[in-house]
Amino acid sequence: MKLFPEAQCLICHEKIIPVIGWTEIFSEEKELIICSICKNKFERVEGEKCKLCSRPFQFLEENFRRGDLCYDCERWEEDIEWHGYLHANHSIFLYNDFFKEVMANYKFRGDYVLAKIFANCVKGFLKRIQSDLLVPIPLSDERLYERGFNQAEALIVESGFTPAKPLTRIHLEKQSKKSRSERIHIPQVFQINSQVEIIGKEILLIDDIYTTGSTLRHAAKLLKESGAERVQSLTLAR
């Protein structure tokens, strides 16, 4: 019987060669799903960052920073229509070229198994962030049919948690086709599912990427106006 069964990386499909030391020999066997080369191409969000959206300050020019907020979040918070709805967004990785390619395979080419790659790091964040309900950003029925699964919901399930679904989504043109201004000024895209109790609940929204923050803020605003106590979000990438 082999200590580590042969496995292929879920991203590059090359054979995974495990690094075996005394820790690995005497620890519980773990499934090998990603090679070290691919793993090292993911860049974590680290260091100083915006307290609202997790935007790293190391890549931001000083004139786009306002204390512990980035300029974008300051503009959101100065707008009375959006102030205070999203308590904070937590992001795990930087949206680099490698992440973009992996996400394209996961999100647009239906490679559901890639959710397993992110499961452990998502699980770690879910245990640290206080919440009563884990809410994936929903897809419209048309988009769900097109993709075959909700990528945000899959992250929750593969991390060993149960998603709640207090939101449904109205079908609109893809967000990726819209400019920043168009994303911010779109009408409300979500509706409340009254069968899920949210009054007084602390809610953690789950999505794949934080871009302008428009989608998350639309969801947070509707949830807060419907009685949620506090709304935060966790995204894979910023």
Q: For the residues of 77-141, what is the DSSP string, one character each?
A: HHSTTTTTS--EEEEEE---HHHHHHHIIIIIS--GGGHHHHHHHHHHHHHHS--SEEEEPPPPH
The domain ranges of the chain are 1-40, 57-237
> Beta 167-169 vs 190-192: how paired, if at all?
antiparallel
Residue given tokens 């949206």 in the structure block = 95
CA 108 vs. chain centroid, Å, equals 16
Question: What span, in angstroms and rounded, lies between the C-alpha atoms of 9 and 3?
Answer: 18
| Length reported for the chain | 238
Q: Do 165 and 194 form a contact (C-beta atoms < 8 A)?
A: no
CA 125 vs. chain centroid, Å, equals 11
Query: What sign results for the dihedral spanned by CA atoms 15, 21, 25, 29?
Result: negative
For residue 71, what pLDDT is reported? 92
The domain made up of 57-237 has a fold known as Rossmann fold (3.40.50)
Closest of 122, 127, 201 to residue 164, by C-alpha: 201
Closest of 211, 118, 210 to residue 232, by C-alpha: 210
Question: What span, in angstroms and rounded, lies between the C-alpha atoms of 162 and 172?
Answer: 27
Consecutive H or E run containing 188: none
For residue 108, what pLDDT is reported? 86
Neighbours of 110 (CB within 10 A): 14
Please list the rounded mean pLDDT of every run of 10 residues in the chain (238 residues).
69 83 45 89 95 91 87 94 96 97 90 93 93 96 90 96 95 59 72 95 97 95 97 97
For residue 61, what pLDDT is reported? 84
> Beta 133-136 vs 202-209: how paired, if at all?
parallel
238 CB-near residues (< 8 Å, 6+ apart): 45, 53, 54, 55, 56, 89, 91, 93, 94, 95, 209, 210
Q: Do 119 and 159 form a contact (C-beta atoms < 8 A)?
A: yes
Question: What span, in angstroms and rounded, lies between the C-alpha atoms of 138 and 191?
Answer: 10
